[in-house]
Amino acid sequence: MSKAPKITPHDAAHVLSEALPHMQRYDDEIVVVKYGGHAMGVEETARAFARDIVLLEQTGINPVVVHGGGPQIEAMLKKAGVESQFAGGLRITDAKTLEIVEMVLAGSINKQIVGYVNAAGGKAIGLCGKDGNMVVAKKVGRRVVDPDSNIEKVVDLGFVGEPDKVDTTVLDTVLGRELIPVLAPVAAGANGGTFNVNADTFAGAIAGALKAKRLLLLTDVPGVLDKDKQLIEDLTVADARKLIADGTISGGMIPKVETCLYALEQGVEGVVILDGKVPHAVLLELFTDHGAGTLIHP
């Protein structure tokens, strides 16, 4: 196993100097980071992510972390003997599934990330959409095409919701006070109850309501790829819509890009889809010239 090249003090000072204009650009701005995927289950990676988030706060940025937890939910459902079903890329969430989803997202995962951030010297506070009525959701329906009959039908996803209203009172109170909100994508219903919300969609709604400078969606891929599977580093909203229409953007990337477009419509300045498995992906994106993924902007 080869050792990493040693960085001299001169090199370290040069890197910090090069980062200065980027730090100034984001000074006192809000950056929402959606953190999820299989990288969450690797402790070393999770701790490195937490250190990067603490560094953002120390440089004057106001980071807000929204996390997913699909693999962890799946593992707990199997342990409990509950079988998962999906439609249109979303988990069908019955009452028994919802109980486990809320326990894993708003409980174990949320507090684990909070613990990592605090261990790195930050002051994280774990919340979910139900706290202070931060996110009130409405029930989601999905139209899917039956592969046998080729007939489109509406599937009842159970307790799966999408953000309907966002109240930033709690976040406005927390941000700017050296506190780092870590949010689980569990939301309240208008008449009480609980909804499971897709983490990308939740992050987009939060970023839009906060008028964030950046929304970073950490995924398991480098970003948006062209037809030759090469990374597209920069897209306008019009470009993105064309790529969806011609099939270049397809499958699970479509809802991610649609979340980006929604966030931009709500006033977010720029949205980036990037690979969360790349070490220090968040720092590369915010503090270097070349970035680390696909930037989508108005």
pLDDT bucket at 102, cuts 50 / 70 / 90: very high
DSSP string, 123-142: -EEEEETTGGG-EEEEEEEE
pLDDT, greater one: 72 or 10: 72
> How far apart are the C-alpha atoms of 222 and 273, rounded to whole Å?
8
Tally the C-alpha atoms within 13 A of residue 90's C-alpha that lie toward its C-beta.
27
The CA radius of gyration of the chain, in Å to the nearest whole number, is 19
- Residues counted in the chain: 298
Judge whether 139 and 161 are in contact, CB under 8 Å.
Answer: yes
Overall pTM > 0.85: yes
Least confident piece of the model among 30-44, 178-192, 199-213, 223-237: 30-44
Judge whether 286 and 270 are in contact, CB under 8 Å.
Answer: no
Region 112-121 average pLDDT: 96
Region 249-272 average pLDDT: 91
Region 139-167 average pLDDT: 81
Judge whether 263 and 208 are in contact, CB under 8 Å.
Answer: yes
Q: Which residue has the tokens 């008028």?
A: 211
| pLDDT value at 262 more than 50 | yes
> How far apart are the C-alpha atoms of 142 and 153, rounded to whole Å?
8
Judge whether 295 and 233 are in contact, CB under 8 Å.
Answer: yes
Q: What is the pLDDT of residue 5?
A: 59
Judge whether 282 and 265 are in contact, CB under 8 Å.
Answer: no
Least confident piece of the model among 91-100, 175-184, 266-275: 91-100
Q: What is the pLDDT of residues 1-29, one digit of tens each?
A: 445 556 677 777 777 778 888 888 888 89
Please state the domain extents for the chain.
28-297
Q: Which CATH superfamily is domain 28-297 in?
A: Acetylglutamate kinase-like (3.40.1160.10)
Ranges of beta strands (E only) in the chain are 30-35, 62-67, 86-87, 90-91, 124-128, 135-145, 152-166, 180-184, 186-189, 194-197, 214-219, 234-236, 270-275, 293-297
| pLDDT value at 191 more than 90 | no
pLDDT, greater one: 157 or 7: 157
